[in-house]
C-alpha cells in the first residue's frame, strides 16, 4: 500500500485520475475507487483531510491510499510511476 497526503480537491483528483490509471473505467463508492475491469486489481481510497491554511491561502487536502493486489514488482512500479506523473505539479 502507498499512502500520501495530497493538496487538491476531490474534483481535481477525479479529473486527473482517468489518465493516471491508463483510462481504465472505474466506479466510485464513497471514498473507494475500484476498476470495473475484474483483471485490474487496484483500489484507491480518497479520504478527505482538514484543509491546509497558510495565512489567507487555504488548500483542500486528501489522503490517497493505493492498494495493488496480484501485481509483481515491475507492474507495481509502472502503475505508481504513471499515477505520480499525472499528479505531479509545478514540474515535480
Q: Tens of pLDDT along 11-57?
A: 999 999 999 999 999 999 999 999 999 889 999 999 999 999 999 99
Structural domains in the chain? Answer: 2-87 (3.30.1370.80)
The owner of cell 496480484 is: 70
Tell me how far apart the alpha carbons of residues 65 and 82 are, in angstroms, rounded to a whole number. Answer: 15
**Residues 58-70: tens digit of each pLDDT:** 999 999 999 999 8
The owner of cell 487538491 is: 8
Amino acid at each position: 500500500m502507498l499512502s500520501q497526503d495530497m493538496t487538491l480537491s476531490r474534483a481535481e483528483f477525479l479529473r486527473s485520475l482517468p489518465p493516471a490509471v491508463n483510462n481504465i473505467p472505474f466506479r466510485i463508492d464513497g471514498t473507494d475507487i475500484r476498476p470495473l475491469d475484474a483483471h485490474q486489481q487496484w483500489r484507491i481510497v480518497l479520504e478527505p483531510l482538514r484543509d491546509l491554511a497558510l495565512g489567507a491561502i487555504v488548500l483542500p487536502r486528501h489522503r490517497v491510499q493505493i492498494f495493488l493486489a496480484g501485481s509483481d514488482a515491475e507492474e507495481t512500479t509502472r502503475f505508481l510511476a504513471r499515477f505520480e506523473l499525472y499528479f505531479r505539479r509545478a514540474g515535480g
